[in-house]
Structure 1
Amino acid sequence: MGDIIKLDSIQDYNEVLGVETLHPLVNVVNMSELDVIRHGRKNFGFYCIILKQIDCGPLLYGRNQYDYKDGTLVFVAPGQIAGANDNGETRNPHGWILMFHPDLLRGTALDRQMKDYTFFSYGANEALHMSERERHIIINCFKEIREELEHAIDKHSKQIVAANIEVLLNHCVRFYDRQFITREIVNRDLLSRFENLLGSYFNSDKPQQLGLPSVAWCAAELHLSANYFGDLIKKETGKSAQEYIQLATVERVKELLTQGKQSISEIAYILGFKYPHHLSRLFKKVAGVTPNEYRSVS
């Protein structure tokens, strides 16, 4: 494994790329203006959005492969490690890089909203694959930010740049929504596999070993990041992944209650609840009655 390059500041990345620092907290780089980009894994101390304007070839997406050639956006958040590890280089690269430090957003409306842009926690195989029209919109956003950075910094610079970044991110939300919709068949297959996963989980001894299935565990079993999995389930069903798991759990409780063989405590143990009253609380919340009330009318 090669060394990991630690990039704590925008200046650090500018030096790696060999470009001028126009602002200490943000920069936009047109990669076509560079002679070469050297490969290597990087530990980012800031947000980074990378547009790859190359033929990406087949990309792994869950358990399937897709071939996207119109442009791919990859999102990196502070503390994440990204990049190739072959110690190679790309000559005459094409694409764009937007990098911005969290300090740039302090005191802006965008600072409070960053947690809502969950795609910063998606894996590289869940990147945003854009159409040509979408790619042009994003490039225009990059150019707007860069144009502002080429002006002398004044008291308005921070708010204007932050506002332009927010516009770009909101376009990305829209494009991800489109991506979820255009993958409808794949999404339905995922939902089916999710249901089967929960069924097999409750039919095994995993609940006694691991407790109730978590969103993170289900996502890992389906080869997706937890955030992407959660967003996809929400788009497909209107419920969060956690709500979906709770519904499946309550349905299994109902099955066991109607069989009439086990006590509430025994059912709680079988399904991985820590305490029986946790089962009763969830059941009442979802079903509207207590387990005993449900059993009495079943």
Structure 2
Amino acid sequence: MDGILTIDTIDQYNKLFGFETRHPLVGIVSFDTAESQGSYRMTMGFYSVFLKETQGCKINYGKTNYDFDDQTVVCIAPGQTVGYTDVEGIPKKSVGLLFHPDFIRGTSLGQKIKKYTFFSYEANEALHLSEEEREIILDCLKKIGMELRHAIDKHSKGLIATNIELLLDYCMRFYERQFVTREDMNLDTLARFEQLLDNYLSSGIAAKEGLPSVRYFADKIYLSPNYFGDLVKKETGKSAQEYIQLKMIDTAKEGLLDPHKTIGQVAYDLGFQYPQHFVRFFKRQVGLTPREYRQQN
């Protein structure tokens, strides 16, 4: 298919692949029976969680192509552009959960959906499952599917939303496990981040490009900002932004102890456009103004 498809509703998605629509705002889809669609790109207006069981297709979103291994979960948020490519000669087999933002409004899940930061991870940051973890995910999907086949009553929405929330909570637990099992890789990433941050603040990049941002370093390390932020938080106990700010304060203190530098020069070297913004930032972090800190030291 040429161009980017815009799929705003679950019914549109179901019609594209030949699935039955049992609920306008929630769906369970299974690609072990769906016909091949070749290669295409689409932007969906709803959340989706896919459990891949074979290497029957490739998914691309963000900057990365990703060939799925067995037992892989990928989560996609509304508005993301996703590319799919069938792998010739290999049958695709996957099951997916689709749910529209309108379905979870007013529910516990709606209030906490933003905490599931893995919806903004890149494809190469997908979740890899053990067999036991796969069974847990499939069990949650099975319960949601049973509710969708049941006649809709006053309990339907609450039960479906609760099971979706349970599934996402398990995904969060499994991602935390994955961060632990990839600790060596994560430490290498942190070391690279530290090096990039030091270079940004000491080589004049900040003065040219402005204040350092989480997105800047995530891009340099080829990770999504959310995944990068979660990795830093898991390994250091601090958010990526907090980590950056602490490094900025250390650099600022060194600059303020240089008698040949004005406070304005220190601010400019850190990427601040206006010295007064630096003064407020420093006072908020240290409890002293830059001038007071300089006088005390």
Distance in 1 (CA, whole Å) between partners of 2:57 and 2:44 is 26
Partner of 2:131: 132
Partner of 1:252: 251
Partner of 1:47: 47
Q: Which amino acid aligns with 2:13?
A: Y
3-state SS of 1:33 partner: coil
Distance in 2 (CA, whole Å) between partners of 1:56 and 1:90 is 8
Distance in 2 (CA, whole Å) between partners of 1:66 and 1:281 is 44
1:230 corresponds to 2:229 = yes
Partner of 2:265: 266
Q: Which amino acid aligns with 1:232?
A: L
Instruction: Quote the offset at 1:58 in angstroms.
Output: 12
5+ unaligned residues in a row in structure 2: which ranges?
A: none
Change (3 A) 1:180 1:49: same
Partner of 2:106: 107
Partner of 1:147: 146
Instruction: Quote the offset at 1:103 in angstroms.
Output: 1.2
Partner of 2:155: 156
Change (3 A) 1:250 1:57: farther
Q: Which amino acid aligns with 1:22?
A: R
3-state SS of 1:41 partner: strand
Distance in 2 (CA, whole Å) between partners of 1:3 and 1:58 is 18
Distance in 2 (CA, whole Å) between partners of 1:21 and 1:68 is 27
Q: Which amino acid aligns with 2:12?
A: D
The answer to whether the 8 A contact 1:37-1:90 is kept is no
Q: Which amino acid aligns with 1:201?
A: Y
* Larger deviation, residues 39-48 vs 285-294: 285-294
Partner of 1:19: 19
5+ unaligned residues in a row in structure 1: which ranges?
A: none
3-state SS of 2:27 partner: strand
Partner of 1:6: 6
3-state SS of 1:161 partner: helix
What stretches of structure 1 move > 6 A for 4+ residues in a row?
A: 56-60, 65-68, 87-91
Partner of 1:28: 28
The answer to whether the 8 A contact 1:210-1:272 is kept is yes
Identity %: 50
The answer to whether the 8 A contact 2:72-2:128 is kept is yes
Q: Which amino acid aligns with 1:21?
A: T
Distance in 2 (CA, whole Å) between partners of 1:58 and 1:2 is 17
* Larger deviation, residues 25-34 vs 124-133: 25-34
Change (3 A) 1:171 1:38: same
Partner of 1:242: 241
Distance in 1 (CA, whole Å) between partners of 2:90 and 2:244 is 48
Distance in 2 (CA, whole Å) between partners of 1:12 and 1:58 is 22
Instruction: Quote the offset at 1:262 in angstroms.
Output: 0.5
CA distances 1:45-83 after superposition (whole Å, capped 9, x unpaired):
1111111101489999xxxx9997441111111111112
Change (3 A) 1:91 1:15: farther
3-state SS of 1:175 partner: helix
3-state SS of 1:32 partner: coil
TM-score by length of 1: 0.91
Distance in 1 (CA, whole Å) between partners of 2:127 and 2:281 is 36
Q: Which amino acid aligns with 1:195?
A: E
The answer to whether the 8 A contact 1:39-1:90 is kept is no
Change (3 A) 1:47 1:57: closer
Distance in 2 (CA, whole Å) between partners of 1:269 and 1:152 is 64
3-state SS of 2:19 partner: coil
